[in-house]
Amino acid sequence: MTMLKKAHSPIEIDSTLTMTNVEDPRPSMRYELTVRNKFIGVGDQPPALGKMADALRAQAEFFEALDDPRIEYDSSEWKNDYHLFYTDDETIAKEFGFSENTEED
């Protein structure tokens, strides 16, 4: 004859759990990317229109890829031709070349 053990009620199970073995989560790292959007050409001659269009197209595609909910855009420096991007997502940081933000807020 098989004997069944009496099941614990949820209250009994919860009262036996402790949180002593749970580690604090690792603090998230903040990553930043600064993009300067000032010079299309290099040197003292303006670039050919085709080269300028290619450069702008590539830059537009890059900015479109940065339009992601995991990336925060800080437009405070746009008048100085700087675009600041932040993320806490390490995968995104590696994909787009973000660097670790070591400044304390």
The domain total for the chain is 1
Centroid of chain to Cα 84 = 12
Q: Are 68 and 20 in contact (CB under 8 A)?
A: no
Q: How are strands ordered across the β-sheet holding 99-100?
A: 72-74, 82-87, 31-36, 99-100
The strand pairing partners of 100, in sequence order, are: 31
Task: Give the separation between CA 59 and CA 65, rounded to whole angstroms.
Answer: 10
45 versus 30: which is more confidently predicted? 30
The answer, as to whether pTM is greater than 0.75, is no
Is residue 96 domain-resident? yes
60 versus 4: which is more confidently predicted? 60
pLDDT at 14: 45
Q: How confident is the model at residue 68 (pLDDT cuts 50, 70, 90)?
A: very high
pLDDT at 45: 62
Is residue 35 domain-resident? yes
Is residue 78 domain-resident? yes
Task: Give the separation between CA 64 and CA 61, rounded to whole angstroms.
Answer: 5
